[in-house]
């Protein structure tokens, strides 16, 4: 804004070089007469405050430095500058107070203990052909594992069924890390089931399972990893995941029964094409975590599976 001040003075006498004298004065083209008073008015303009604007912040200018509200103007961020990266269910597990989460890492024992003597013995029911106590054990070590080993005769088996705490109305999701010692002469399945069956080729009445069967009665491949379902005992539906089982090598298998008419399956983090998954499961059906392993060759062999962990999450 403009400001001014005035200075009044007297033009007394010619200067003639004398101190304090004024020889001539020209102000804006006006020469005042000697011996008169004059008034000088000086006007000045104050320096305006510099205008400071907020620069638009883009992803290219944001690193790991802290960002506060003082450094970002609201107008600088628009929905056009924010995108959501693709998030797949294979990589993200969202848990909330409305979810029920259960996991067994088989690390509750300090040493090798048979399942029937473990801290969680009441949760599991073990059985099978020629099954004996000691066929299923917790193994010591970091993280813990569960080992289920058949007896030594052809077709001997082990079944392990947990409490039927998961209902298909609660949209259960199952995940397990498991391996078979030798794939060529064995069968195994892991998943959710309403009951146990000692013969690998007899699929429980209500279930969704993932595993293999080297007898290959399903014609999907003797060492192919397959999913199998049974909907209210309507008959087993076998589905090839496109993955081949490797002996003594862990697999991470996962399935989602949120849509009982179109389950979803993952192997090692990769989802199996929906067009491949044709089996369904019965709605409003209680099931429990289930493991089964069976010898499928004559002679003194003892096939076994090792389970690193198993977990299930569902709606409450």
Q: How confident is the model at residue 310 (pLDDT cuts 50, 70, 90)?
A: very high
In this predicted structure, the answer to whether residue 27 has a pLDDT above a threshold of 70 is no
Average pLDDT estimate for 125-134:
95
Q: How confident is the model at residue 110 (pLDDT cuts 50, 70, 90)?
A: confident
> What pLDDT does 28 receive?
54
Dihedrals φ, ψ of 106, to 5°?
A: 55, 40
Partners of residue 293 on adjacent β-strands: 158, 188
Q: How confident is the model at residue 255 (pLDDT cuts 50, 70, 90)?
A: very high
Partners of residue 192 on adjacent β-strands: 208, 289
Q: How confident is the model at residue 108 (pLDDT cuts 50, 70, 90)?
A: confident
Mean pLDDT of the chain: 81
Average pLDDT estimate for 122-146:
92
Q: Report the percent of the chain where pLDDT is more than 70.
A: 69
In this predicted structure, the answer to whether residue 83 has a pLDDT above a threshold of 70 is no
Q: To which residue do tokens 């924010």 refer?
A: 82
> What pLDDT does 278 receive?
97
Q: What distance in Å separates the CA atoms of residue 148 and residue 292, rounded to the nearest whole number?
A: 8
> What pLDDT does 146 receive?
97
Of 14-18, 30-34, 111-115, 254-258, give the lowest mean pLDDT range.
Answer: 14-18
Dihedrals φ, ψ of 75, to 5°?
A: -70, -15
Q: How confident is the model at residue 299 (pLDDT cuts 50, 70, 90)?
A: confident
Looking at CATH, the fold of the domain delimited by 99-315 is given as Jelly Rolls (2.60.120)
Q: How confident is the model at residue 142 (pLDDT cuts 50, 70, 90)?
A: confident
**pLDDT, greater one: 20 or 217:** 217
Average pLDDT estimate for 265-276:
98
Q: What distance in Å separates the CA atoms of residue 229 and residue 264, rounded to the nearest whole number?
A: 12
Q: How confident is the model at residue 51 (pLDDT cuts 50, 70, 90)?
A: very low
**pLDDT, greater one: 148 or 74:** 148
Partners of residue 174 on adjacent β-strands: 255, 312
Token pair of 268, please?
């090692």
Q: By the 8 A CB rule, do 22 and 15 touch? A: yes
Q: By the 8 A CB rule, do 270 and 153 touch? A: no
3-state helix, strand, coil in the chain (%, to 5): 10, 40, 55
In this predicted structure, the answer to whether residue 240 has a pLDDT above a threshold of 80 is yes
**pLDDT, greater one: 27 or 241:** 241
In this predicted structure, the answer to whether residue 260 has a pLDDT above a threshold of 90 is yes
> What pLDDT does 139 receive?
86
Average pLDDT estimate for 9-29:
48
In this predicted structure, the answer to whether residue 61 has a pLDDT above a threshold of 70 is no
How far lies 287's CA from each of 167, 257, 272, in Å?
A: 6, 12, 23
Q: What distance in Å separates the CA atoms of residue 188 and residue 292, rounded to the nearest whole number?
A: 5
Torsion, Cα 235 174 157 135, to 10 degrees, reads -160
Average pLDDT estimate for 228-241:
98
In this predicted structure, the answer to whether residue 279 has a pLDDT above a threshold of 80 is yes
Domain boundary assignment for the chain: 1-83, 99-315
């Amino acid at each position: 804004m403009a400001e001014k001040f005035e200075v009044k003075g007297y033009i007394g006498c010619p200067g003639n070089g004398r101190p304090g004298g004024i020889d001539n004065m020209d102000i804006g083209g006006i020469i005042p007469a000697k011996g008169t008073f004059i008034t000088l008015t000086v006007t000045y303009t104050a320096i305006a405050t510099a205008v400071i604007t907020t620069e638009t912040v883009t992803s290219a200018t944001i690193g790991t430095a802290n960002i506060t509200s003082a450094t970002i103007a609201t107008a600088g961020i628009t929905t056009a500058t924010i995108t959501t990266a693709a998030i797949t269910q294979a990589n993200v597990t969202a848990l909330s107070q409305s979810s029920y989460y259960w996991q067994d890492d088989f690390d509750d024992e300090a040493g090798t203990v048979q399942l029937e003597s473990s801290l969680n013995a009441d949760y599991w029911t073990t059985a099978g052909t020629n099954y004996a106590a000691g066929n299923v054990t917790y193994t010591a070590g970091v993280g813990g594992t569960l080992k289920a080993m058949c007896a030594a005769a052809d077709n001997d088996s082990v079944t392990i069924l947990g409490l039927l705490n998961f209902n298909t109305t609660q949209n259960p999701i199952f995940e397990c890390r498991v391996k078979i010692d030798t794939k060529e002469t064995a069968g195994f399945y892991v998943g959710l089931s309403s009951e146990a069956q000692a013969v690998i080729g007899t699929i429980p009445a209500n279930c969704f399972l993932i595993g293999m069967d080297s007898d290959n009665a399903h014609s999907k491949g003797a060492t192919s990893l397959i999913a199998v379902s049974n909907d209210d005992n309507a008959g087993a539906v076998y589905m090839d995941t496109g993955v081949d089982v490797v002996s003594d090598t862990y697999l991470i298998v996962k399935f989602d029964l949120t849509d009982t008419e179109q389950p979803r399956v993952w192997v090692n983090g990769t989802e199996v094409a929906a067009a491949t998954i044709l089996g369904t499961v019965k709605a409003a059906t209680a099931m429990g975590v289930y493991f089964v392993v069976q010898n499928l060759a004559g002679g003194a062999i003892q096939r076994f599976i090792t389970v690193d962990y198993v977990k299930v999450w569902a709606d409450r």
